[in-house]
Amino acid sequence: MKHLLSDSIVITKRQILQLARIPELLIFSTIQPVMFVLLFRFVFGGSIQTSQPGGYVQLLMPGIFVQTVAFTLAATASGLAQDMTKGLIDRFRSLPISRGALVIGRTFGDALLNILVLAVMAAAGFAVGWRPTSGFTRVALGFLFLFSFGYALSWIGIYVGLVVRDARVVQNVGFLVTFPMTFLSNAFAPTTGMPRALQYVAEWNPVSSMVAACRQLFGLKNEFGATATSWPSQHPLETSLLYIIILMAIFIPLSVRKYANSSS
């Protein structure tokens, strides 16, 4: 136990080193979100009507931040599954390292990657007209929310990676979770257009809460959200925080236990 943190950091460093050895990996993982910003801004931006001062891009950016962070889930899962299948895991297990360092280290690495990607996206957003109006502290708080949400999701990713194990399958499972999650929400368009049943799903979707929370923190009206007067849409900050805590409380112990038992 006394080496848990230092062992985890070695694993995190490994991930950073991987990025340094294969720079293409880093380039592509930052190009993708930038591409999303540009696509949504210029392809949909023109056709979605909003009374928001500053236009659609103000509403879009929080949505796209949350979406990108949600994709961490798939990245974490497939990275871990790759380690599990390539025999490398056997070496890690035969080393006198702390149980859990391998998975904890990976979540740290993905968290660092998230920071980088969020920074690149913020810059891209700024370039296409995104201007949060709420002042530095609240904007920073918004990013802290995004970061924490990403961290919680990477623990789901760990669990998926441990359960599914096959890296290619994991990739698909990851998308199967994240795509409906991000689109069945208020991230890109008003939920009012959805069938009634889906509206409720969207309303309680953690992604919606996160997007609404970010919009609030960035000084926007949550135009795409509140159709019902449900609790989550009334209290996006509290709901998001609650979701983050619940996800971590469930998936951290679950994953650590799964990892410890996954030898046989």
- Residue ranges binding another protein (CB under 8 A): 3, 6-7, 10, 13-14, 17-18, 21-22, 86-97, 263-264
Return the amino acid letter for 65.
F
Q: What's the min distance (Å) between Cβ of 22 and another protein?
A: 6
* CB closer to another protein out of 93 and 235: 93
Q: What's the min distance (Å) between Cβ of 258 and another protein?
A: 16
Q: What's the min distance (Å) between Cβ of 205 and another protein?
A: 35
No. of helices (H) and no. of strands (E), the chain: 12, 0
| Burial class of residue 137, CB neighbours in 10 A (0-12, 13-18, 19+) | exposed
* CB closer to another protein out of 17 and 249: 17
Identify whether the C-beta of residue 213 lies closer than 8 Å to the C-beta of residue 152: no
Q: What's the min distance (Å) between Cβ of 119 and another protein?
A: 24
> How far apart, in whole angstroms, are the C-alpha atoms of residue 137 and residue 75?
30
Distance of CA 102 to the CA centre of its chain: 20
> How far apart, in whole angstroms, are the C-alpha atoms of residue 224 and residue 155?
28
* CB closer to another protein out of 95 and 119: 95
* CB closer to another protein out of 3 and 131: 3
